[in-house]
Amino acid sequence: MIDENMTDIPNNSQPDDSQTASVEFTGTARPDSDQHRVSVFTAVGGQAFFDRLVERFYALVADDEVLLPLYPDQVNLGPAKERLALFLAQYWGGPGTYSEMRGHPRLRGRHVPFAIGQAERDHWIAAMTVALAETVPECPLDAELQAVVSERMTEHFSTAADHMVNQPG
């Protein structure tokens, strides 16, 4: 069973906090067992899931005439991939490596140097939607839980991307 309290979206007061999210499996096979909670990070297969997701996402960025010009190092997207993959892993309940390397996420502030309007936001979301659709089916969850993970991540990305918009129009 899914924990509907699975938190994910940054709230308004601290929009860049890397909160974590979880899926809760209740003991349907062993009804009298204690409830067992695992993080989304663990449930989807750990860092490998986020690495694959980000690899696919950046393959699309590399081909996107709206997104690619924003990247300071368009020739070597490797470090940008690593930062995003570690951030997402941490956000969804994995190890705190991103914050150890980069400090507090403060993502809106980190995006200020890049002009992000609605078009950039929409391209980012379109690429991530494709990457998710390709990656989630590979994770070791049944179809019902995959749908939940997909929905939660889609919601999160949509809200977070809105938050990065720093240009009118």
Residue 58: CB minimum distance to ligand HEM, A: 10
Token match 């308004």: residue?
Answer: 12
Judged by beta carbon, residue 50 or residue 124, the one nearer ligand HEM is: 124
In this structure, what token pair is assigned to residue 169? 């129009």
Residue 103: CB minimum distance to ligand HEM, A: 8
Residue 13: CB minimum distance to ligand HEM, A: 18
H or E stretch including 124? helix 118-135
102 close to 83: Cβ distance less than 8 angstroms: yes
Backbone angles phi, psi at 22, to 5 degrees: -145, 155
24: which strand partners?
37
Q: Which residues bind ligand HEM (CB under 6 A)?
A: 67, 70-72, 80, 83-84, 87, 102, 107, 110-111, 114, 116, 120-121, 124, 157, 160-161, 164
Judged by beta carbon, residue 26 or residue 59, the one nearer ligand HEM is: 59
Residue 151: CB minimum distance to ligand HEM, A: 16
Judged by beta carbon, residue 17 or residue 25, the one nearer ligand HEM is: 17
Judged by beta carbon, residue 26 or residue 150, the one nearer ligand HEM is: 150
- Euclidean distance between CA atoms 133 and 89, whole angstroms: 18
